Amino acid sequence: MPRYKLVIEYDGGPFCGWQRQADELTVQGAIEAAVTRFSGEDARLTCAGRTDAGVHAIHQVAHLDLAKDWRTDTVRDAINAHLRPLPVAVLSAEIVPTRFDARHSAIRRHYRYRILNRRSPAALTRAQVWQVPWPLDPDAMHRAAQRLVGHHDFSAFRAAECQANSPMRTLERLDVARTTMALHEEIVVTTCARSFLHHQVRAMVGTLMLAGCGRLSADDVADILASGEKRRCGPLAPASGLTFVGVDYA
């Protein structure tokens, strides 16, 4: 029974997240239905990182097992044919050893968050950004972000419904920079870790936004982290600005 590794991209806007739900449109549910339609098999996908409703991906990784040894380009093209017109696509498919596990074999996951920092609303990218109309200082945000890098208890940035066994996580990178696009109106937050808590990235971005407008200092952000108190955290940044951009394997 061959195991297939899929690289997937999707616009999270129409979906109620990645994970299959009985009565809701999800990315996993849509892809599994497409696999069943082309192969006749009731396959199950395992992904590198489950995303919430509204969160996008440009390099999500998943695996599935099929009884038949299909050509990899057939798997890719057949799934895509049955996904239309949903905004999700399989970019590649390859056969991998059965010891490969999209979730458990991952050693690092990467996310990007986009903030549109201007008064005028987004016309073309409104489903991919968080519009913040007041001025933000990306350098102040970056300085505050460095106080979160490392191995910490991230309880202050954890969703109440998070099911992780421990709030301890090692944040390898959290960078904030204004892009070089026209008018420099976009601020991008990039981060990576082996794993994240539920809502951790969005909670960190919301807190860094407060640092960017002068309401919090870098020391304040460090104090919030040390307190473990979610009530002291900044607002939860909207899902629309968050994109899963990649995953590393050994």
176 SS3 class: strand
Model confidence at 233, in pLDDT bands (50, 70, 90)? very high
Model confidence at 182, in pLDDT bands (50, 70, 90)? low
pLDDT value at residue 183: 61
Please check whether residues 84 and 187 belong to one and the same domain: no
The amino acid sitting at 89 is A
Across 149-178, average pLDDT? 95
Residue 5, H or E segment: strand 3-10
- Of 11, 23, 42, 52, catalytic: 52
Residue 16 lies in domain: 3-96
Please check whether residues 73 and 143 belong to one and the same domain: no
**pLDDT tens readout for residues 22-49:** 889 999 999 999 999 999 999 999 999 9
Output DSSP code: residue 17: -
Number of domains in the chain: 2
What is this structure's pTM? Answer: 0.95
pLDDT value at residue 85: 96
211 burial via Cβ count (<10 Å: 0-12, 13-18, 19+): buried
Please check whether residues 240 and 124 belong to one and the same domain: yes
- Please state, in angstroms and rounded to a whole number, the distance separating the CA atoms of residues 160 and 140: 28
**pLDDT tens readout for residues 121-139:** 989 889 999 999 999 999 9
Confirm whether 52 is a catalytic residue.
yes
Please check whether residues 144 and 92 belong to one and the same domain: no
pLDDT value at residue 162: 86
117 burial via Cβ count (<10 Å: 0-12, 13-18, 19+): buried
